[in-house]
Amino acid sequence: MHSATALAALGFGASVLAQQAGTLTTETHPSMSLSRCTSDGCVAEDDSIVLDANWRWTHDTDSSTNCYTGNTWDSSLCPDGTTCAQNCAVDGADYESTYGIVSDGGALTLTLKTGDNVGSRVYLLGPESENYVKFDLRNKEFAFDVDVSNMPCGVNGALYFVEMDRDGGMSEYENNKAGAKYGTGYCDAQCPQDIKFINGIANVDGWTPSTGDANSGTGSRGSCCNEMDIWEANKVSTAVTPHVCNKSGQTACTSNSTCGVGDARYDGVCDKDGCDFNPYRMGNESFYGDGKIVDTSSKFTVVTQFITGDSTDTGDLTEIRRLYKQNGNVIQQATSDISGVSGNSITDDFCKAQKTAFNDTDSFESRGGVAAMGDAFSRGMVLVMSIWDDYAADMLWLDAPYPADADTSKAGVVRGTCAADSGVPATVESDSGDASVIFSNLKVGALNSTYS
Ligand SMILES: *[C@@H]1O[C@H](CO)[C@@H](O)[C@H](O)[C@H]1NC(C)=O
Ligand SMILES: *[C@@H]1O[C@H](CO)[C@@H](O)[C@H](O)[C@H]1NC(C)=O
Ligand SMILES: *[C@@H]1O[C@H](CO)[C@@H](O)[C@H](O)[C@H]1NC(C)=O
Ligand SMILES: *[C@@H]1O[C@H](CO)[C@@H](O)[C@H](O)[C@H]1NC(C)=O
Ligand SMILES: *[C@@H]1O[C@H](CO)[C@@H](O)[C@H](O)[C@H]1NC(C)=O
């Protein structure tokens, strides 16, 4: 689940002609290194990060008049989605002062609240700064260090992969002239409808300002694609979750049924629930947390391995494994302690058994299960890092009893030690606006090559 609480920032400086051609720009991408590893060692690649277009100041291409203010569109600049995309520009970003995003090249810090801005979402951009880096993790592993010690209940510091277009949709959609350089083209398995421009069209049709979130709203279109959540976490709980869709690549959904809204949740293009492995939810309450086996009061390394059936880089994905390293010790993922569910990794058998044990609807297998996640990797996925709070469900699905009124003695209900009334965004933002996550030491490579 990912909400985009975006700020319509007022800013200065030259603009890019939005989803039009630009001349000048103040956009400077913070650098971020990615190490590519084999059994012989690692080689660093000089990449950078780019802020999602949804957070950017969106204004008239000819002036500084806002196209979007707070959570509403300007009706004269944006009478319809296509005209709006032609009239409006997304601007360069001041990463640190407006959005609280700081990188020293190896470590990226994201802060929950900076001024009026809430949260952020960034993508890994390749050395040429025009295209996102695409990852195929079949028969590979991805590793990073994370510091979640300043991440309380209700806040999520996420690192994950989604099947966005390499160029942010610029070559495919004529009204998108900003592209990956300006963070366009986001999609995920929630088919988010708070995205302001989807496939070169502003999401003006049916736009409904959020009642709780002063910066956000939803339109009639959503942006769907496969999503591999390696890391959704705070200092209390963590989950690793593949979500698959029955369509390849990024696609727009245009109805409640294809977007999977409300009662149609399980009819949509994508599997919104996913198949999650959260050690606490799987019955091990002493594994992850402050002072626990994986001790979230200090930094640790997270390694996620993608095993194929035939142990080749092109084989079917069959298993997703997790290990941690902290203070020199390698710590294997906790084993399920739930009756009827075995193992400490994600496989189709694990997912089926877990859905049955928790009486959850299974919308993962019907869209292809673990192998479908591998198929998405074969086409390439984009790395996302974000910090967010949750206007839809108070992050209870990650760190607390969920649903809030469910019987907590039932297996699968409790996901962490946070209270059932925790995670309310207004409270989180006023009490913990300075919450922050630090991601560092990104590495990708052959199995067992990144952490020993
Ligand atoms: C789509 O779902 C929303 C939210 O549940 C609802 O308000 C709206 O009426 C639905 N639209 C249609 C066309 O059914
Ligand atoms: C995708 O899944 C939905 C819901 O199960 C279904 O209605 C739709 O027909 C499927 N589409 C494809 C292309 O398989
Ligand atoms: C939790 O995980 C640790 C490490 O794998 C293990 O030693 C411990 O027995 C587990 N506890 C439960 C209740 O399963
Ligand atoms: C399982 O879920 C279904 C539908 O969500 C519900 O009707 C049923 O009562 C649940 N069963 C148990 C044992 O909780
Ligand atoms: C990686 O390490 C694990 C545990 O040490 C071992 O079981 C596995 O065979 C190794 N895989 C490869 C490809 O080296």
pLDDT tens by residue, 69-119 = 999 999 999 999 999 999 999 999 999 999 999 999 999 999 999 999 999
Does residue 329's CB lie within 6 angstroms of at least one atom of ligand 3? no
> What is the phi-psi region of residue 89: left when phi exceeds 0, alpha when psi lies from -120 to 50, beta otherwise?
beta
Which DSSP symbol is given to 245?
B
Question: ∠144-149-155 over CA atoms, to 5°?
Answer: 90
Pure H helices in 100-199: none
Beta bridge partners of 45: 34
What are the boundaries of each domain within the chain? Answer: 20-446
Domain 20-446, architecture per CATH: Distorted Sandwich (2.70)
pLDDT of residue 10 exceeding 90: no
* Cross-strand bridge partners of residue 444: 36, 142
| Nearest residue by C-alpha to atom 14 in ligand 3 | 284
Q: Which ligand 2 atom lies nearest to the CA of residue 257?
A: 7
pLDDT digit string, tens, across residues 423-442:
999 999 999 999 999 999 99
Closest Cα to residue 135, out of 152, 108, 160, 156? Answer: 160
The residues carrying an active-site annotation are 227, 232
Report the nearest-CA residue for atom 5 of ligand 2.
267
Three-class DSSP category at 280: coil
Nearest atom of ligand 1 to the alpha carbon of 256: 1
Contact 177, 170 (CB under 8 A): yes
pTM of the model: 0.95
- For residues 309 and 301, give the distance between their C-alpha atoms in angstroms, rounded to a whole number: 26
Type of residue at 398: L
Q: What pLDDT, on a 0 to 100 scale, did the predictor assign at position 19?
A: 61
Return mean pLDDT, the chain.
94
Collapse the DSSP code of 51 into the 3-class scheme (helix H, G, I; strand E, B; otherwise coil) and give the result: strand
Cα of 425 vs centre of ligand 4, distance in Å, is 30
Residue with the nearest Cα to atom 2 of ligand 2? 269
Q: Which amino acid makes up residue 235?
A: K
Residue 330 alpha carbon to ligand 5 centre in Å: 13
Contact 252, 279 (CB under 8 A): no
Atom of ligand 5 nearest to the CA of 311: 13
DSSP 197-226: EETTEETTTT-EE-SS-TT-EE-S-EEE--
Q: 258 CA distance to ligand 2 centroid (A)?
A: 8
Tell me the best of 208, 211, 256 to mutate to test the pocket of ligand 1, counting ligand atoms within 8 Å of each CB and taking the most: 256
> Is the beta carbon of 337 within 6 A of some atom in ligand 3?
yes
Pick the atom of ligand 3 nearest to 337's CA: 14
pLDDT score, position 452: 82
